[in-house]
A = this chain, B = another copy of it.
Amino acid sequence: MAYIYCMSTLARTPKQIGTIIQRARKQRDWTQSDLAERAGLRQGTISVIEKGDKPAKLDSILAVLAALDLEFRVGERSKGAGQDIEELF
């Protein structure tokens, strides 16, 4: 087990994941259609994923994250450390 230095955002719910995706997309100045094309999905699906109010498939999320060149990490809970998505609002 190695401790690593990384920059990431905690997500617990589909809505939070959607928000992270939307932020990353806008950082890249991509439209939902741009992202949809790169992820092999449709614009409407990106919209739904970003809103996060309807469940999505893991594969779709992974495709979107890969299209955004974002990493997906699973790890032990690190209380107090890091940036929680809720802090962003």
Residues of the B chain whose Cβ atoms lie less than 8 Å from the Cβ of A21: 74
Residues of the B chain whose Cβ atoms lie less than 8 Å from the Cβ of A57: 55-58
Residue of B nearest to A56 (CB): B58
Question: Do B71 and A78 touch (CB < 8 A)?
Answer: yes
* This protein's copies in its complex: 2
The contact string, 1 if C-beta is below 8 Å from chain B, for chain A 1-22, is 1111111111111100100110
Contact-size category for A: 35 or more
Shortest Cβ distance from A88 into chain B, in angstroms?
Answer: 10
**Interface members, chain A 17-61 (any B CB < 8 Å):** 17, 20-21, 55-61
Question: Do A78 and B5 touch (CB < 8 A)?
Answer: yes
Which of B13, B70, B74 has a CB less than 8 Å from the CB of A9? Answer: B74
**Which residues of A line the B interface, CB within 8 A?**
1-14, 17, 20-21, 55-62, 65-66, 69-78, 81-83
